[in-house]
Amino acid sequence: MTVIGLVGSGEIGSSVARAALDHGYEVVISNSRGPESLTGLVGDLGPQARAGTTTDAVRAGDLVLVAIPLKNIFDLDPAPFTGKIVIDADNYYPQRDGQIPALDDESTTTSELLQAHLPKAKVVKAFNHIVAAEILSTAQPAGLPGRRALVVAGDDQAAKDQVAAFIDAIGFDVLDLGQLSEGWRIQRDTPGYTQHRDLAGLRADVAAAKRYADM
Ligand SMILES: NC(=O)c1ccc[n+]([C@@H]2O[C@H](COP(=O)([O-])OP(=O)(O)OC[C@H]3O[C@@H](n4cnc5c(N)ncnc54)[C@H](OP(=O)(O)O)[C@@H]3O)[C@@H](O)[C@H]2O)c1
């Protein structure tokens, strides 16, 4: 049984949890307020779900999703993430996250920031460009024409392959963007961001993406 550990139980965390449960995974879900605050959600998710501390969710997860406001990634304790495959769904919204100079000057990307904070994890960017509810509403079985595609980006190919297999299992084709440093191609305000695209459409969108400085 593959366990998905979830750091963040909001829109994205709970949607990925539901998708994973629908496809036979177990989930351990966490938030900033502790497992007691998740009793209602876990009751709703069913017997294959349990609540834990963030450390519990990270330790239990074969794959660990981080889905929290970007500014809060710096509060995560890196220790339990050692050796873990970490899916990063986060986006940069300065109104919410404050100004982050290294993102403003585009000298790095959001997922590279998470990788730098969790140096012993294998970070894979995914799920940042789909509206949370659409993880359930637009999923389709493999092989259907026009099946929606989602990206993966990462510096560890084996980790990326495992995340790609998970994304395929819950209902989407997968486009490999390359290294984490390519993640800007699907960041906020790029052509593919939040758009429903099949594999060919998403490939065209990421190829057409421009840096903020060039928009
Ligand atoms: N919403 C979308 O459609 C969507 C789509 C793609 C990507 N994203 C990105 O995904 C991330 C999460 O978005 P969201 O909409 O799911 O947010 P959300 O609904 O506001 O939920 C945020 C979750 O993060 C938890 N959290 C905050 N700080 C934490 C910490 N230090 N440790 C553990 N948990 C923490 C919160 O727990 P508490 O409630 O206990 O504080 C809450 O469960 C953001 O970066 C967002 O830009 C969102």
Segment 90-138, tens digit of pLDDT: 999 999 999 999 999 999 999 999 999 999 999 999 999 999 999 999 9
Percent of the chain beyond pLDDT 70? Answer: 100
Q: Using alpha carbons only, what angle is made at residue 100 by residues 13 and 195, rounded to the nearest 5 degrees?
A: 45
d(CA 45, CA 68): 19
Predicted local confidence at residue 116, as pLDDT: 98
pLDDT tens digits, 156-169 = 999 999 999 999 99
Residue 132 DSSP one-character state: T
Residue nearest atom 9 in ligand 1 by C-alpha distance: 90
68 lines ligand 1 (CB under 6 A): yes
Distances (CA, A) of 71 to 89, 94, 142: 13, 9, 35
Average pLDDT score over the chain: 98
Ligand 1 site-directed mutation target among 68, 150, 186, 190, most atoms within 8 Å of CB: 68
Residue nearest atom 5 in ligand 1 by C-alpha distance: 131
d(CA 34, CA 15): 19
pLDDT at 25 over 90: yes
d(CA 199, CA 80): 35
Predicted local confidence at residue 1, as pLDDT: 67
Residue 187 DSSP one-character state: S
Residue 13 CA, ligand 1 centroid: distance in Å: 7
